[in-house]
Chains A and B, each alone.
Chain A
């Protein structure tokens, strides 16, 4: 897939999709349409969730699978049930129970657990199997080309969940589909099929650009549809989505007049919880390549996964409250005090002035410092960068080599990935990440990174760590990954000489590909200043870390057979190196294409 297409939702990207004049868009109104209210409002999600829902369809209700109904056990992995406010809270609402319907072609990496099984359980399908032969796909709203993290979906992507969800309910509120679609977006077609079944008015697809001018939203997405849930009766003004999608057909679920509005919002939030719940390691199998098949990703990633993240994690902290909930302090007072201590320690480490009680492990990590920075790290992780982690359970226990893309002007991806693993996989030894010389020996920063867990990148160090059953994170792009300009963000550089493959072969440990999105926008590299005076190849000119959302996707482990002999086989090493690189590339592009806004 062309980069243009992949990055199509990237507002920074030149050559984004051409704007289609509204007038030129086909308009499709469907039966049962209610008069469209032009000023549609997005109520605060919380309110939506609190509304009592009446199950519109008993049948659908009965078949409504919650995640708990997932027939395939996810061994050892707590199936994240981010539907916290969803089905559990409102058992009467089948909508909520609808698990993201997985497309058959869904790549394994994003497998949502027992997808086919779920199909059967899907109220959607069971409600109207015939009419929707193409069920998982059919109700999607937009063209295949449009993809973003917006739950409302694109193309044949099952990520069309909210809509799919809404339609079965279709006896509920007025459904109006008004998809002014892109010429190339097969939006109208699926909808036309779907809508007649909707005996209900509530769902309105409002393709016309929203009153909130796209211009006002610098980060808006081109041509990605957005869903708005608008239970009427909510006078409270919507907090406008700051990152909405300009000129995209936008779906609004507007169950006007139905007091018993099904709670659609929770679905949005609860969307596809168990991205990472695939417990079966796909040994040796690279991730399938969703984009290469022209398939949009199996699911949309939204910030709604954050709760999933938390449910999955050992950390029983309150769920992440993303931006929509208004400003919340980044840190509690106690957390602030603790963080201040941690920061003091960090500055002392930075200056090379550690105290006499400083204790470090064999590779220089200061556990006390890490612990004291924990509140701050958690706040940054949960609230500032709102890290979404998927597939953490794929990381095998014991030693493994996690291979990730390196990005951003400052190497904060290492600590963040380390923190993510610490949160999600408390059973593993704290992961150590390997840092290239230029960074490891950079004055100040190198020391701090070392105290936080970085290890100088060298085969000997990696082998020793692996012998100790420590997961080792490597960034094979090295300094190249950090020194590429912002315009080349997320374009993988050469993966070194495949040193990590040799190490994996020699140590007999699996390689886990990891894609990290968010670093490039958090610390964009604006310029490279000469830094030879400080002993670094360049000084990055960047901004203070920006609150871009982060997504970390772990892929299926790749087992490396062959031992030392394979490590000496340069062709093998190169091949596997390329394979890992391609896998990460695909995961990256997939994440990017599904990302709903940057911040």
Chain B
């Protein structure tokens, strides 16, 4: 059991991602960790010397062998797999390759080496915004795809792989942290791009409740996942919920409620001029609440968010000046 040991080696893929940059300082500050190994194609900048760097391309043909060797050499106690694409990608095929195929390769190697603990982030968006779901989605709620939204569907595929992996290798402790939209000055993901717009169209007559989680809280949750004895899925959500209109305003964005048909046209028009904020299929998220129940994380992970939803959103305005 990892939790009982005093010295640890922790591996991280995607250390340069938003989550990786939030996590690394915490790992470096953690006295219980002896060694941090970063797997990446290039050495991430601003990473201190004590971090060991292992060059590895998750997408290269036949990477499993290299990966297996690297993982065996590293003798890891836990592996964070954070190599996911959140930034704007013009080549969706690359993002798909990295997330789906990259995870596939990584899981194959991790299964062979029997990494004791595997920690992977996911999204609460996967629960979908559905009229019939309960107000707070428990971790057991089935996930659903959103047609035409790459970053959701690829992550859904990753989740499928992970659940199969967890079944196949019960010895490996798999922890999946499903994050509410991560906001903060250092974050760049579809949600932060949404709230960095001047105005966001919403659906007239609807004002669903949303959650966010601040990037600091997200990093803390990832770190806590290393030390917990629990395993499985955890929803990582910020404190409180807010109607989307209020949430957008807190970030300095003007919500523009448009009647459904008008909104459809507006989205098409924005896409035409390259301002696409969200495809029509995402409009359900502007109609129905999509909240995740974070009680399990509080109980088993001892994760309590520090920033309430409105304050977390306010950090987005600070960055914009």
Say whether A associates with B: yes
A-side residues, CB < 8 A to B, are 349-360, 362-364, 437, 441-444, 446-447, 451, 455-456, 458-461, 464, 534
Name the segment of B101-109, B127-135, B159-167, B269-277 touching the other chain. B127-135
Known: A352-B257, A353-B257. A358 touches B288 (CB 8 A): no
Known: A455-B135, A458-B134, A464-B135. A354 touches B246 (CB 8 A): yes
List residues of chain A with CB within 8 A of the CB of B132. Answer: 437, 458
Q: Are B243 and A358 in contact, CB atoms less than 8 angstroms apart?
A: yes
A456 to B255, CA, bound (A): 24
Partner of B255, one of A350, A352, A437, A461: A352
A598 to B313, CA, bound (A): 51
B-side residues, CB < 8 A to A, are 131-136, 138, 202-207, 209, 240-246, 249-250, 255, 257, 287-289, 310
Known: A352-B245, A364-B209. A464 touches B136 (CB 8 A): yes
List residues of chain A with CB within 8 A of the CB of B203. Answer: 352
Known: A364-B209, A447-B205, A447-B207. A352 touches B135 (CB 8 A): no
Q: Are A443 and B134 in contact, CB atoms less than 8 angstroms apart?
A: no
List residues of chain B with CB within 8 A of the CB of A352. Answer: 202-207, 243-245, 255, 257
Extra A-B contacts (9), CB below 8 Å, given A356-B246, A360-B209: A352-B244, A354-B207, A354-B243, A354-B246, A356-B310, A360-B246, A363-B135, A459-B134, A461-B135
Q: Are A437 and B131 in contact, CB atoms less than 8 angstroms apart?
A: yes
List residues of chain A with CB within 8 A of the CB of B244. Answer: 352
Q: Are A364 and B289 in contact, CB atoms less than 8 angstroms apart?
A: yes
Ranked 7 nearest A-B pairs via Cβ:
A443-B205, A460-B134, A356-B249, A352-B207, A358-B246, A444-B205, A354-B246
List residues of chain A with CB within 8 A of the CB of B240. Answer: 359, 362
Q: Which residue of A lies closest to B207 (CB)?
A: A352
List residues of chain B with CB within 8 A of the CB of A455. Answer: 135
A408 to B246, CA, bound (A): 32
Q: Are A358 and B242 in contact, CB atoms less than 8 angstroms apart?
A: yes
List residues of chain A with CB within 8 A of the CB of B209. Answer: 360, 364
**What number of A-B contacts does a CB cutoff of 8 Å give?**
89
A380 to B128, CA, bound (A): 40
List residues of chain B with CB within 8 A of the CB of A351. Answer: 204-205, 257
Identify 14 residue pairs between A and B in the complex whose beta-carbon atoms are under 8 Å apart, listed by A's number. Answer: A352-B207, A352-B245, A352-B257, A354-B245, A358-B243, A359-B240, A360-B241, A363-B135, A364-B209, A442-B205, A447-B205, A455-B135, A460-B135, A461-B135
List residues of chain B with CB within 8 A of the CB of A353. Answer: 207, 245, 255, 257
Q: Are B257 and A364 in contact, CB atoms less than 8 angstroms apart?
A: no
A456 to B132, CA, bound (A): 9
A437 to B257, CA, bound (A): 22
A388 to B148, CA, bound (A): 55
Q: Are A355 and B289 in contact, CB atoms less than 8 angstroms apart?
A: no
Q: Are A441 and B288 in contact, CB atoms less than 8 angstroms apart?
A: yes
A455 to B288, CA, bound (A): 13
List residues of chain B with CB within 8 A of the CB of A357. Answer: 246, 310
A354 to B254, CA, bound (A): 11
Q: Are B205 and A460 in contact, CB atoms less than 8 angstroms apart?
A: no
A486 to B241, CA, bound (A): 40
CB distance from A138 to the nearest CB of B (A): 57
A444 to B132, CA, bound (A): 18
Q: Which residue of A lies closest to B253 (CB)?
A: A356
Q: Are B131 and A364 in contact, CB atoms less than 8 angstroms apart?
A: no
A564 to B243, CA, bound (A): 35
Q: Are B241 and A362 in contact, CB atoms less than 8 angstroms apart?
A: yes
CB distance from B141 to the nearest CB of A (A): 9
List residues of chain A with CB within 8 A of the CB of B288. Answer: 441
CB distance from A500 to the nearest CB of B (A): 16
A122 to B133, CA, bound (A): 58
Known: A351-B204, A441-B131, A443-B205. A364 touches B249 (CB 8 A): no
List residues of chain B with CB within 8 A of the CB of A359. Answer: 240, 242, 310
> Which of A362, A442, A455 gathers the greatest number of chain B CB atoms within 10 Å?
A362
A459 to B136, CA, bound (A): 12
A110 to B100, CA, bound (A): 67
List residues of chain B with CB within 8 A of the CB of A363. Answer: 135
Q: Are B134 and A447 in contact, CB atoms less than 8 angstroms apart?
A: no
CB distance from A533 to the nearest CB of B (A): 9
CB distance from A367 to the nearest CB of B (A): 13
A350 to B133, CA, bound (A): 22
A443 to B242, CA, bound (A): 18
Q: Are A460 and B136 in contact, CB atoms less than 8 angstroms apart?
A: yes
Partner of B246, one of A350, A355, A464: A355
A352 to B287, CA, bound (A): 10
List residues of chain B with CB within 8 A of the CB of A534. Answer: 205
A446 to B209, CA, bound (A): 12
CB distance from B240 to the nearest CB of A (A): 8
> Which of A354, A446, A459, A464 gathers the greatest number of chain B CB atoms within 10 Å?
A354
List residues of chain A with CB within 8 A of the CB of B257. Answer: 351-353
A494 to B192, CA, bound (A): 48
A165 to B287, CA, bound (A): 60
Q: Which residue of A lies closest to B247 (CB)?
A: A356
Q: Which residue of B lies closest to A463 (CB)?
A: B134
List residues of chain B with CB within 8 A of the CB of A349. Answer: 207, 243
> Which of A356, A357, A455, A464 gathers the greatest number of chain B CB atoms within 10 Å?
A356
CB distance from A478 to the nearest CB of B (A): 14
A442 to B206, CA, bound (A): 8
> Which of B240, B245, B249, B287 gathers the greatest number of chain A CB atoms within 10 Å?
B245
CB distance from A372 to the nearest CB of B (A): 16
A364 to B206, CA, bound (A): 13
